[in-house]
Amino acid sequence: MRDPVGKLLLFGATGDLAQRMLLPSLYGLHADGLLPEGLTITGTARSDHDDVSYRKFAKHALDEFLPEDRKDDKAVKTFLDRIGYQALDASKVEGFPALAEKVGDVSGGLAIFLSTAPFLFEPTIKGLESAGLAGPRTRIGLEKPLGYDLASSKEINDAVAIAFPEDRTFRIDHYLGKETVQNILALRFGNSFFEPVWNAQGIDNIQITVAETVGLEERAGYYDTAGALRDMVANHILQLVALIAMEPPARFDGTAIRDEKAKVFRSLRRIKPEEAPHVTVTGQYGAGAVNGEIVKSYIDELGKPSTTETFVAIKAHVDNWRWQGVPFYLRTGKRMPTRHSEIAIQFKAVPHSMFASRGGLLQPNMLIIRLQPEEYVQLLVMAKEPGLDRDGIRLREVPLNLSLDAEFAGTRRRIAYERLLLDLIEGDPTLFVRRDEVEAQWEWIDAIRAGWVANDMKPKPYGSGTWGPSAAIALTERDGVTWQDD
């Protein structure tokens, strides 16, 4: 049951995420009348603002990051009226009473959005608790990075759990807020014809690609300590694996969905140290050209030597009855030739081709779920080429296209954080990540990292604007599989 709160407290209120995503998302909800009436928003960060200067700051963020057709002077003004600000050094408990005073009466419920450096989690939770901001009607949303391995993630989870029980802890993976990611559930469980072939009998292999054209951006401090495996695979890509691989949940609710996802994470085949060089590939971008623009190498952008990977490819397996023998090829990288996220499901070839002797080559069917930047679902099927060929019929692979962009053209696509902030404010945990999921994800990721260390694996160089090191191509080609590239 949804249980909206009356107050929202935003940590990291002057950060990049707040400017690009959180403020525009909250504005979007406000402008559409979706925020609870009377909900007030308190921003907090170290920066020295008062209400007036923070509202200016927020206005500037909206000017910069809202699409033109969403800007409405009246809605912007009423939105800014909801916002206040309190400066805080979260590492010191002394500042929290003033924050609590600023937030005011929380008997109507409080939602906290915490996006902060990992070392601040513990003091922040202590500060909130000591100032009476962690009562039974407070829920907390936690933004990544939630640790950098299983041990540190447990530490953070333990620190949070002292003040917030699991049912009031909302771990954010913004991929789960994306419409297209939720659409995987709709496709799989809202249609009857996929399920009978959605298994090792029907599917040959699955590829998941999250390719980005950007490089380090302004995030050197964080990214260089994380790398592609922790930054993208440990959360977003594994969530995609879970949605593709999970058993049908009985209900669309937080318990049923997360139970099934957690089972997938626990079924991931642990990669042994000696296997790591064969089933994982890491890379780091060198200089090159992306979309016609000459870009620097990672090391030059960073300004110092580094062995952090900006690309990773993995051959993974889900060891259960449904997926036995089906490889999941996962890959993600910065400075790729295009920005796209896609899941490609290759079905088994037909058992016998009656066209074989007639020069008609059959391609196995493939289902492509394009998550971004375009949103579509494409089923590649074999069709007869028109013509009067005397030596039999000629076949060609053609796409059966469902363009979600076109189909829902009149509907505004929301930022993933609109969904997640609304669910945090209203208390629906379905699209948030449970502790057992996070810990099972880290267990699998830690084993891979241990393999890299044991084998002294260093990232292989690849040119910016390419699909990663050639070893990543060999990873699938060895199995007779080709990555779906654009």
Positions touching ligand BG6 (CB under 6 A) are: 212, 231, 341
Give me 303's structure tokens: 């300004």
| Identity of the residue, 41 or 146, whose beta carbon is nearer to ligand BG6 in the bound complex | 146
CA neighbours within 13 Å on the CB side: how many for 236?
A: 25
| Identity of the residue, 49 or 331, whose beta carbon is nearer to ligand BG6 in the bound complex | 331
| Identity of the residue, 153 or 346, whose beta carbon is nearer to ligand BG6 in the bound complex | 153
Burial code (b: 16+ CB inside 10 Å, e: under 16) for 45-61 equals beeebeeeebbebbbeb
Distance CA 467, CA 482 (A): 12
- Shortest Å distance, C-beta 259 to ligand BG6: 25
Check the annotation: does 144 bind a ligand.
Answer: yes
Neighbouring C-beta atoms of residue 359, cutoff 10 Å: 11
Q: 30, 49, 60, 236: which is the annotated catalytic residue? A: 236
- Shortest Å distance, C-beta 229 to ligand BG6: 12
| Identity of the residue, 231 or 426, whose beta carbon is nearer to ligand BG6 in the bound complex | 231
Distance CA 42, CA 19 (A): 15
Sign, Cα dihedral of 328, 329, 333, 338: negative
Number of H helices, E strands in the chain: 17, 16
Nearest to ligand BG6 by Cβ — which residue?
231
- Shortest Å distance, C-beta 196 to ligand BG6: 32
Check the annotation: does 174 bind a ligand.
Answer: yes
DSSP β-bridge partners for residue 314: 280, 330
Pairing of strands 376-384, 395-403: antiparallel
Check the annotation: does 261 bind a ligand.
Answer: no
332: closest CA among 293, 363, 371, 304? 371
C-alpha to C-alpha distances, 230 to 220, 233, 241, nearest whole angstrom: 15, 6, 15
Check the annotation: does 335 bind a ligand.
Answer: no
- Shortest Å distance, C-beta 406 to ligand BG6: 22
Q: Is 352 a catalytic residue?
A: no
Check the annotation: does 304 bind a ligand.
Answer: no
| Identity of the residue, 231 or 437, whose beta carbon is nearer to ligand BG6 in the bound complex | 231
- Shortest Å distance, C-beta 240 to ligand BG6: 11
Check the annotation: does 46 bind a ligand.
Answer: yes
Q: Is residue 122 a contact partner of residue 149, using CB atoms and an 8 Å limit?
A: no
Check the annotation: does 231 bind a ligand.
Answer: yes
Pairing of strands 169-171, 138-142: parallel
- Which residues define the annotated binding site for NADP(+)? 46, 144
**Binding site as annotated, residues for substrate:** 174, 178, 212, 231, 334
Active site residues: 236
